[in-house]
Structure 1
Amino acid sequence: MAVQNCRMPLILRKVITKQSGGCVRAVWITKMTDRYLSCLGTNYQIHREKGNVTGKNVMTGNVDKFGGITVHLNERDFPPDISESAFSIQLRDSLSHWRAEGRIAVWLHVPLIQSRFITAAAKHGFTFHHARHDWSTLCLWLAEGESRLPGFATHQIGVAGAVLDEASGKVLVVQDKNKTKNAWKFPGGLSEPGENIGDTAVREVLEETGVRAQFKSLLSIRQQHNHPGAFGMSDMYLICRLQPLTFHIDFCTQECLRCDWLPLEELAHTNATTPITSRIARLLLYGLQHGFHRIDLPVEQLPAVYSGMFYQLYHRVLPVNAA
């Protein structure tokens, strides 16, 4: 029977929601609700000890290698006819059970449509850990001492592309709209989840300027804490060296006030730019004159310790005869 078709008898519903335990509740569960509870699936479990029902409703979840448990409050296991008070009782019983089992923490994965359960969870000590578009994750530390749960993401990643035409010594720059100072800067933006740094730089350059380019290396990393554009979190700003594949500018008028190819020498010494742009212009000028191998951090893909996964490592090229 599908969950949405389950119907608990009215008298039994009152017994379960108004009684906190005891014989009456146990008798009704034994006689009337085995079918209903099995209909709800894995969420409601009847624990029998020596033939008697304990009356505990223990949520099921996935136990991780650290001893924590994650419960997903999906609509299949937690249908709309479960009240907040019934959920609170079930959560209370579950917490007692998990503490007895020695679980160190609980994670509640709450879809936006199930947000009515958050208030009940908060009354049991849960706090927000993080949230995305249509769900949030709450957590509760069960073990002794202060919580050792890891925090959520602490930084946002911005990536810019310094597109250098080596033949002319010019670099592609833009001026952003809606800025108090119309300073020249390299086109860039926030990296998307799962997007490699070089791919972000190439994408942002194309979106803002219409110029197609190829990733060559990582040039610099800037770290800034309490960044206003990161909701007070820390910001990592990475600038990459790109090689142009096209040169015609067709810039985005929604984001940019103007766009141009400027000589590196001019960009390195003009006051109409930001300190970081000026510094990278000087770095590019040095690479153009003395070799990019002196400034580049090229990328190498290596196997991760996690089976079947890889990561990208940016570092100076090792000499052939290096140990």
Structure 2
Amino acid sequence: MVLWIMSAGFCRVSSGLCRVSSGFFRVTSGSSRASSVFGKFRLVSAGSARFCSGCEERLCPPLLAGDVDRFGGVTVRDFPPDISEEEFSDLLKVSLHQWRSEGRVAVWLHVPISQSRVCSAAARHGFSFHHARGDQAVLSVWLAEGQNRLPAFATHQVGVAGAVLDESNGKVLVVQDRNKTKNAWKFPGGLSDLGENIADTAVREVFEETGVRSEFRSLLSLRQQHTHPGAFGMSDLYLICRLQPLSHRIHICTHECLRCDWLDLRELAETSETTPITSRIAKLLLYGLENGFQHIDLHMEELPAVYSGLFYQLYHRPMPDGGKQYSKGAI
């Protein structure tokens, strides 16, 4: 005999009725059809079950399928579409018991907004919100012993500006933002998009605000600021890149900028109509222009990541011979 059943726990089958923790299946003799409150079933053959005193018993696996990460956590992304809050609570309870027995350290639930009803059920089992973005919320729970060691969600926003320097005449591209309390000269820039590299952000923002095309040359500076206004309580990282112009004609974005111009570096370094950080970078660029940019530049090198197989960008001062004197066999 073959039965379609869905449950987590022990399923006891008698001649006419199969009782499950979340409801009842009615089994017709000689038939494999059964009804369930879950609406989805797992195929179990009689040969794979245990028999005892004329009854068929089986420990059914958890119905919440998840992916195990390299840290020993479980991530669940798919849920039965029509599952109720109480049904989900039953499934989650047994799944958590199973994951604990397997030594899993944490569980992540990626819940679409259309199934947000399961969040309250998860909360009853110790889950809390980790973060939310777009149409999905992520809940987490720590299963291992000791203090919760799960990382917090992103704590910073990243702003990037581009200092477009024309080395032939010592002029740099600057803008004045619209709707600011002080119309100070600054380098064009904005927030980095998700998954966007720093260099790409600088080039994109410069073009969007000024219409000037440019290419990345180096990273000049990094500013860290906490409790930044408009950062939703997060900390703020602000990076300034040195760019080389590929065009010079200005097509200002009037929605974001009040003014835009090419200013002499020395004028920018000395004027009171700018911000402290812009003035400092102007002086840094002056030093590089006069003494060589190798003294101020942080170059970018792309390296392979060990675990993901992807690549990342590393910014650092260049070594004279690229570090060959420290290579294997050179020491």
In which range does the TM-score fall when normalised by the shorter chain?
0.7 to 0.9
RMSD: 3.1
Q: State the match for 2:118 in structure 1.
A: 117
2:19 to 22, 25, 33: 25
| Superposed counterparts of 1:52-91, under 5 Å | 52-53=57-58, 58-74=63-79, 78-80=80-82, 82-91=83-92
What's the secondary structure of 2:168's corresponding residue? Answer: coil
Aligned residues: 303
In structure 2, relative to structure 1, the CA distance for the partners of 1:29 and 1:49 (3 Å cut) is farther
| Superposed counterparts of 1:7-46, under 5 Å | 25-26=19-20, 28-29=24-25, 31=27, 35=34, 40=40
Q: Is this contact kept in 1: 2:62–2:98, CA < 8 A?
A: no
- Name whichever structure is richer in helix by fraction: 1
Distance 2:221 2:104 in 1: 43
- Name whichever structure is richer in strand by fraction: 2
Q: Is this contact kept in 2: 1:127–1:140, CA < 8 A?
A: yes
Distance 1:299 1:322 in 2: 20
CA deviations over 1:161-213 (Å, ceiling 9, x no partner): 00011122111111111111111110001111222211110000000000011
| Superposed counterparts of 1:1-323, under 5 Å | 25-26=19-20, 28-29=24-25, 31=27, 35=34, 40=40, 50=51, 51-53=56-58, 58-74=63-79, 78-80=80-82, 82-306=83-307, 308-320=309-321, 322-323=325-326
In structure 2, relative to structure 1, the CA distance for the partners of 1:143 and 1:86 (3 Å cut) is same
CA deviations over 1:245-300 (Å, ceiling 9, x no partner): 11111111111111111111111011111110000000001111111111111111
In structure 2, relative to structure 1, the CA distance for the partners of 1:39 and 1:271 (3 Å cut) is same
Deviation for aligned residue 1:59: 1.5
In structure 2, relative to structure 1, the CA distance for the partners of 1:259 and 1:91 (3 Å cut) is same
Q: Is this contact kept in 2: 1:157–1:235, CA < 8 A?
A: yes
Letter of the 1:144 counterpart: E
Q: Show structure 2 runs of 5+ residues with no match.
A: 327-331
Distance 2:144 2:224 in 1: 35
Distance 2:138 2:200 in 1: 30
Q: Is this contact kept in 1: 2:25–2:34, CA < 8 A?
A: no
CA deviations over 1:90-147 (Å, ceiling 9, x no partner): 1122222222332221110111211111111112111111222121110011112111
Distance 1:175 1:97 in 2: 59
What's the secondary structure of 1:229's corresponding residue? Answer: coil
Q: Is this contact kept in 1: 2:65–2:78, CA < 8 A?
A: no
Distance 1:114 1:181 in 2: 46
Deviation for aligned residue 1:39: 6.6
What's the secondary structure of 1:25's corresponding residue? Answer: strand
Distance 2:313 2:152 in 1: 24
Distance 1:228 1:267 in 2: 26
Q: Is this contact kept in 2: 1:251–1:258, CA < 8 A?
A: yes
What's the secondary structure of 2:109's corresponding residue? Answer: strand
What's the secondary structure of 2:230's corresponding residue? Answer: helix
Distance 1:281 1:30 in 2: 79
Distance 1:273 1:279 in 2: 10
In structure 2, relative to structure 1, the CA distance for the partners of 1:90 and 1:225 (3 Å cut) is same
Matched-pair identity in %? 62
Distance 1:146 1:202 in 2: 43
Distance 1:105 1:291 in 2: 52
